[in-house]
Structure 1
């Protein structure tokens, strides 16, 4: 069934507006908000679902509420960050008449300060995710620019060994320094595997129903 003429006219007007370059920066900010919201849901919902049902106690209603809250917070913050970053970046470029590398840093700096500055579990996870990747990227950039030496041998295996050695040492002797979800994962792997009472909680359950 064909759409009503009024709706067709509206869609044509909207499509015409979207194709006009003069509004591209403003429309890109709106599209960025949309993409941030969608991506936040895609990333957080599966993670929150798995972590909540694996490690969180409480009723089904409480677990679902926790999943929805975490997903909403991540999606909202990311959408608002993309909106803020793209808006500030476009504003700086418009004011100065050209784009500079510093515009990118300043726009993201302000957006991060406003949207991800609160110290909570979700922001901590996002920041740690970014920290590891930024450090990797900076090392590669340093080698590319000649600030860091290029090693003849591949040090990936050594790097891996050091990281795993450090994380288990921190877990065993300085556990509070690790992020809570990492503590939960490592407790399940390395401590809960030391405890059982019979075949049921040795192979089937992590902990027997009677021990919960």
Structure 2
């Protein structure tokens, strides 16, 4: 077995298998604690229902990352063998096809993953544009401006177009901004809040 693992001839195929394994394990490590916390904070139902939801979401996230990794690495290997080289367009096409096939279904897990990527990709594209000289290097700290812009937009959307935001974000905003205006005694002012979070 070790001779196969160390044989350079099998390395590209073994990298696909290990990528499949690593994608699955990473999905479990990321989704399980997230689902555990969010489910117990925001979901109603029996303990059994909550754990079933946590396990379903964890498995879906892990399976999707594993499948995307396998598709991406397989397509990259095929394109590299056909063309004899690698090119950024090949990376994009392989990832596009994998993302379309695996993360293209509109469900809660895929939406969260895709939104996470959107934020990271947006920052990466701006940094690349600055690095390549397409945008000028800022002469001041832009992070406070970025933070203010994000919070200004999200709270305007929350107040006037709440239904356009993700349900988990709506729940968080409702708890922080709306539920903080409602109380009837000292107990529910200081300790207990009548919402799903508590």
TM over 0.5, shorter chain? yes
Find the counterpart in structure 2 of residue 84 from structure 1.
71
For the pair 1:104 / 2:103, whether they are aligned, the reply is no
- Separation in structure 2 between the aligned mates of residue 98 and residue 20 of structure 1, nearest angstrom: 21
In structure 2, which of residues 119, 123, 127 is the aligned counterpart of residue 132 of structure 1?
119
Find the counterpart in structure 2 of residue 37 from structure 1.
24
RMSD: 1.6
In structure 2, which of residues 59, 67, 81 is the aligned counterpart of residue 94 of structure 1?
81
Q: Quote how far apart the aligned CAs of 1:208 are.
A: 8.3
Q: Deviations over 1:32-73 (max 9, x none)?
A: 000000000111111111111111111111111111111111
Name the count of aligned residue pairs.
Answer: 197
Unaligned runs of 5+ in 2: none
2:175/2:195 contact within 8 Å kept: no
For the pair 1:172 / 2:159, whether they are aligned, the reply is yes
Q: Which has the higher contact order (CA 8 A, sep 6+)?
A: 2
Q: Quote how far apart the aligned CAs of 1:184 are.
A: 1.0
Structure 2-normalised TM-score?
0.95
Find the counterpart in structure 1 of residue 43 from structure 2.
56
Q: Deviations over 1:46-104 (max 9, x none)?
A: 11111111111111111111111111111111110001101111111011111111111
- Separation in structure 1 between the aligned mates of residue 148 and residue 156 of structure 2, nearest angstrom: 12
Larger radius of gyration: 1
Cα 1:168/1:208, change in 2 over 3 Å: closer
